[in-house]
Amino acid sequence: MGFFDIFKKKKKMSDGLEKTRTDFFQNIVNTLTSSVIDDDLYNDLEEQLILADVGPSCAVRLVDELRDEVEINGLHTGQEALDALRDIIRREVSPKTDLDLSGKPAVILVVGVNGVGKTTTIAKLAYLYKDLGKRVMLAACDTFRAAASEQLETWADRAGVPLVKAGEGADPAAVIFDAVKSATARGYDMVIADTAGRLHNKKGLMDELAKISRSVKKASPDASLEVLLVLDAITGQNAISQAQEFCRAAGATGVVLTKLDGTPKGGCIIGVHEKLGLPIRFVGVGEKIDDLIFFSATDFAEALLPEVPQHKKEETEQAGEEQA
């Protein structure tokens, strides 16, 4: 990835978090850089993290980690605390593993309830990987919703990739089986599969997701499988109970967070990561087909808590020295 590609990705992340940064996290920056480090600061910080949709337990833990960093490293100024918090958040959301696309083909099963942007996310994934030189095929495994295949076909045309589909009411596991077989025979690198937007309390439908997953390996023992759970950033913490059910039923391996640009509560990324124990793989930062980007923990932390201008740093450092 060249310099300008990296710059573009960082800008998309920054722009996508504009509402979050200028609302809740700007308050956090202001609190830290205009205050001395004391119990009142920690209490204010904890409250603001909760308001930003980080989640109560996660907010408490982050603030406790900051306390430890301050004590261990002898931090004195709010600016130093801001820098420490940025690094804590970066570590918190850093994926422990890479996305596994080693299979022949690499299969990505996309799951999530209706309305979270699942179908458009699939098209954006296809466009992203096609742009990276991959040969991508889509599979329309949502055979329950009347217009699902047609909707995905429209997006497949926009992304410039082929689509495998079947009639309404067909077995979704058979569709993914055919798609993986076709991709293997035609030398495609990836299959990205849509699934029905199932409610988390319908056990039979959730079992169907597990059946689809098993069909991938039946079609190609050499296939790798990632199951990406799509969540709507606007619903934030409210989506976690549904997400936990999806994780159990479909063996989710990662998260795609959509509509990040539409909420001031982008802190939900931190809470979702903690509660689900899953890496955030991609974030949606707009409606265009190229508005899905790989998640970067560093870019995320820097976009949430940007560097303070030098003159402001000097003022807060001086204030900290006077208080020390």
Q: What is the CATH number of domain 3-95+312-323?
A: 1.20.120.140
- From CA 283, how far away is CA 322, in angstroms rounded? 42
Task: Count the Cβ atoms, other than its own, within 10 Å of residue 98.
Answer: 9
Note whether 126 and 192 are within 8 A (CB): yes
Domain-wise residue ranges, the chain: 3-95+312-323, 106-294
For residue 58, give both structure tokens. Answer: 């996660």
The model's pTM? 0.87
Q: Are 118 and 197 in contact (CB under 8 A)?
A: yes
pLDDT tens string, the chain, 324 residues long: the values are 443 354 566 777 777 677 667 677 788 888 888 777 888 889 989 998 888 888 889 999 999 999 999 999 999 888 899 999 999 999 999 998 999 999 999 999 998 877 788 899 999 999 999 999 999 999 999 888 778 888 899 999 999 999 999 888 889 999 999 999 999 999 999 999 998 776 555 677 677 778 888 899 999 999 999 999 998 888 766 667 667 766 776 778 999 998 888 877 778 888 888 888 899 999 998 889 999 999 999 988 988 888 765 444 455 455 445 544
Query: What is the average pLDDT value for the chain, to the nearest integer?
Result: 84
- Evaluate whether 254 touches 292 at the Cβ level (below 8 Å): no
List residues bridging with 111 in a β-sheet. Answer: 229
Helices (H), the chain: 3-16, 18-21, 24-33, 39-51, 56-73, 78-93, 118-131, 148-159, 172-186, 203-219, 240-250, 268-276, 297-304, 310-323
pLDDT of 30-55, one tens digit each?
A: 888 877 788 888 998 999 888 888 88
Please write the tens of the pLDDT for every residue from 281-323: 999 988 899 999 999 999 889 888 887 654 444 554 554 455 4
Which pLDDT belongs to residue 198? 62
pLDDT at 109: 93
Domain 106-294 carries which CATH code? 3.40.50.300
Which residue, 195, 296, 291, is CA-closest to 246? 195
For residue 107, the SS3 value is strand
Q: Which two tokens stand for residue 8?
A: 């573009």
The residues with which 256 forms a beta bridge, in sequence order, are 230, 282
Q: Are 217 and 227 in contact (CB under 8 A)?
A: no
| Residue 217: how many other CB atoms lie within 10 Å | 15
